[in-house]
C-alpha cells in the first residue's frame, strides 16, 4: 500500500466483528456493530508546536488501539476498508 498519513493522522484497520455471542448465537451481518478496536497500519510524523519543534505521535505501526464509535473517516485503499483519524480520537493502546 502506498499511503502515508500526514501530521497527527493515523491509518487504522478495524478488527473483525464478533460473529457469535458468548452463548453461541450467530449474529447476522446486518445486526453486527462495528468494532471500536483496530490496528495502526501507518502513522504521521507528528505535530509542530508553537516553537516549530516536531512532537512525535504516541502510537506507531502495529499498535492495537481503542477509539470512539464515530471516530475517523472511512476510506477504501487497495480494496481494504480503513479509517483515517487524528491521534486525539484514539482513547488508548491495548497491550
Contacts of 30 (CB under 8 A, 6+ apart): none
Domain CATH code at residue 44: 2.30.33.40
pTM, entire model = 0.75
**pLDDT given at position 49:** 84
**pLDDT given at position 31:** 52
Name the domain count of the chain: 1
Residue given cell 490496528 in the structure block: 39
Chunked into runs of 10 residues, the chain (95 residues) has average pLDDT values of 84 74 62 73 88 88 88 87 90 87
Q: Is residue 23 part of a domain?
A: no
Q: Distance between CA atoms of 13 and 71, rounded to whole angstroms?
A: 13
The parent domain of residue 54 ranges over 9-15+30-93
Beta-ladder partners of 67: 90
**pLDDT given at position 45:** 87
**Which phi and psi angles does 80 have, rounded to 5°?**
-110, 130
Contacts of 9 (CB under 8 A, 6+ apart): 43, 44, 84, 85, 86, 87
Q: Is residue 20 part of a domain?
A: no
Amino acid at each position: 500500500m502506498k499511503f502515508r498519513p500526514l501530521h497527527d493522522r493515523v491509518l487504522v484497520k478495524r478488527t473483525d466483528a464478533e460473529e457469535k455471542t458468548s452463548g453461541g448465537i450467530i449474529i447476522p451481518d446486518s445486526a453486527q456493530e462495528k468494532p471500536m478496536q483496530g490496528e495502526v497500519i501507518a502513522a504521521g510524523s507528528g505535530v509542530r508546536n508553537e516553537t516549530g519543534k516536531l512532537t512525535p505521535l504516541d502510537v506507531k505501526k502495529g499498535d492495537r488501539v481503542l477509539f470512539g464509535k464515530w471516530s475517523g473517516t472511512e476510506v477504501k485503499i487497495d480494496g481494504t476498508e480503513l479509517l483515517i483519524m487524528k491521534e486525539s480520537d484514539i482513547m488508548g493502546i491495548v497491550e
